[in-house]
Amino acid sequence: METDPSRFSLLFVDDDPQVLSLLEDVFAKKDYHIRTAQDGQDALTILAETRIDAALVDLRMPGMDGLTLLKEIRTRYPGIMVSILTGYGNVEDAVKAIKSGAVDFLEKPFSPVRLCAFMANLCRIWELNEENKTLRANVESRFGFDPLVGKSTIMLELKEMIAQVGPSRSTILIQGETGTGKELVARAIHAHSPRARNSFVPVDCAAISETVMESELFGHTKGAFTGAHISTLGLIRSAEKGTLFLDEVGELSSSTQAKLLRTIQEKEVRPVGSSQNHPVDIRVLAATNRDLGTEVVRGFFREDLYYRLNVLTIHVPPLRDIKEDISSLATHFLKRFSTSRSPVKEISEESLLCLERYDWPGNIRELENVIRRAIALGKGNRILPEDLPENIYTPPFLKPPESIGLSLESSLASYEIAAIKNALAQSGSNRKKAARILKIGEATLYRKIRKYGIKNYELRVKN
């Protein structure tokens, strides 16, 4: 695959202005973004202000020499590919440079053609590195088991529970709001079971339409219905000796529920269009964000299936109940999503406070998305409050003002204003919630906001 030069910013560092101007001439007609520096200090200043992907550094320079600069770059900006320019035949220096982390070296003198090929190669290595990183992250999150992050008491109890119930054959119902990590918990249970080496087969019951659900789950015979040109095994049998994870199990139609119940009870599967049963050895885990017990009472979910699935229930907590884990979760996502192009390393204290104040209706998945977005939008290597979405970046809490020398009426008013602003901040500017925090009616809160002229920007009203 050809690399696209316009994607890359290159930095050349050489104390010899003739070499620099030669380099500039060679690249004048290419699309790379080019920066040049005459010494190490100059180079570091450029690196602090500009995004650079690859650098070519002369080894012999007065002041900071090439090797020192190379080491500096490796520590401060590990994503940058650095190569070294050496004098002809100076193999010893080249070896030293490679040992200190240089990707390659180019001997002087060089022809323009050689230089271009060399730099293109450097960019290609950079790209491969980046691809590798993304691939690894994808593979880990999709196929591997990414351990649950969190050290709060609730999380530790959850992990303990997983370790305890994992090895059994028992069917488990995983209950939790959207985005709390139900699938991750299911994968963790599978990983703790003797079935860990066999497949974990997730089935998204909400995403598969009712008409194809049965043949997807139980398989079908050739000719079972129009379009059934070949027979299929079905998801249940493909989980043989492994774990079948029924996500959003509450969405199953009543006829699929009946068939599933039979499979769990009899440990056999009858494909659509077949009169034959096939034995299966699977463990079933199911997840739901609804209260299945209530669904049973309302007549939407079969009671007998509910009891079969609900041999054991694991509750995955909403993020608002494990706020002390926000910091380690945020750091975990930072590591996962930060790339050498957006090398975000930390979260400012103020941003963390904002994250901890927020209510997280979308739970850990919402936090994951907020961090991903902040990395993409942010300019520096720290996440600042302004990189966070508007509803999360709330102004800092106000302390009630000093009341010395004020009339009783004005000092009460200033207390009221501080309390209202704080409640709005705490509720993510949701007036209904803010009114609840203050234990007053919404209309009263509205009147006070008007009376004290609390501005719209201070409210950050959510629609």
Ligand X SMILES: Nc1ncnc2c1ncn2[C@@H]1O[C@H](COP(=O)(O)OP(=O)(O)OP(=O)(O)O)[C@@H](O)[C@H]1O
Which residues are near ligand X by CB under 6 A? 141, 146, 148-150, 176, 178-184, 289, 329, 332, 364-365, 368
User: DSSP string of 141-191?
Assistant: HHTS--PPP--SHHHHHHHHHHHHHTTS---EEEE--TTSSHHHHHHHHHH
Q: Which residue's CB atom is positioned nearest to Mg ion?
A: 183
Q: Is 183 in the site for Mg ion (CB under 5 A)?
A: yes
Q: Name the helix (H) or strand (E) containing 32.
A: none
Report the residue number, 247 or 325, with the smaller CB distance to Mg ion. 247
Q: Which does 150 bind (CB under 5 to 8 A by kind): Mg ion, ligand X, none?
A: ligand X
Give the C-alpha separation, 329 to 308, whole Å: 34
DSSP 282: -
**Shortest reach from residue 339's CB to Mg ion, in Å:** 26
Torsional class of 356: left (φ above 0), alpha (ψ -120 to 50), beta (otherwise): alpha
Task: For residue 177, state whether it binds Mg ion (rule: CB under 5 A).
Answer: no
What is the dihedral sign for C-alpha 383, 386, 390, 396?
Answer: positive
- Bridge partners for 10 per DSSP: 34, 54
Closer residue to ligand X (CB): 102 or 184: 184
Q: Which C-beta is closer to ligand X: that of 61 or that of 316?
A: 316
3-class SS of residue 202: strand
- Count of residues binding Mg ion (CB under 5 A)? 2
Question: Given strand 54-58, what is the order of strands in its sheet?
Answer: 33-37, 9-13, 54-58, 81-86, 104-107
Residue closer to Mg ion, measured from CB, 17 or 361: 361
Task: Give the residue nearest to ligand X (CB).
Answer: 181
Residue 251 binding partner per list Mg ion, ligand X, none, with a CB distance cut-off of 5 to 8 Å that depends on partner kind: none
Least distance between Mg ion and beta carbon 178 (Å): 8
Q: Identify what 190 binds: Mg ion, ligand X, none; CB under 5 to 8 Å per kind.
A: none
353: left (phi over 0), alpha (psi -120 to 50) or beta: alpha
At its nearest, how many Å lie between Mg ion and the CB of residue 247? 5
Cβ 174 to Mg ion shortest distance, Å: 9
Looking at beta carbons only, is 65 or 183 nearer to Mg ion? Answer: 183
Q: Least separation, in Å, of the C-beta of 144 and ligand X? A: 11
Q: Which residues of 39-67 are buried (b: 16+ CB within 10 A; e: fewer)?
A: bbebbbebbeeebbbbbbbbbbbeebbbb
CB nearer to ligand X: give 4 or 140.
140
Q: Up-side HSE of residue 413: CA atoms within 13 Å toward CB? A: 11
The footprint of Mg ion on residues 229-248 (CB under 5 A) is 247
Nearest distance, CB of residue 329 and ligand X, angstroms: 6
| The entry of ligand X, Mg ion, none that residue 53 binds, CB within 5 to 8 Å by partner kind | none
Nearest to 339 by CA among 140, 154, 99, 132: 132
Instruction: Pick the closer one to ligand X by CB: 70 or 203.
Output: 203
What, of ligand X, Mg ion, none, does residue 122 touch, CB below 5 to 8 Å by kind?
none
54/203 with CB nearer Mg ion: 203
Compute CA 229 distance to the chain's CA centroid, rounded to the nearest angstrom: 40
Interaction site with Mg ion (CB under 5 A)? 183, 247
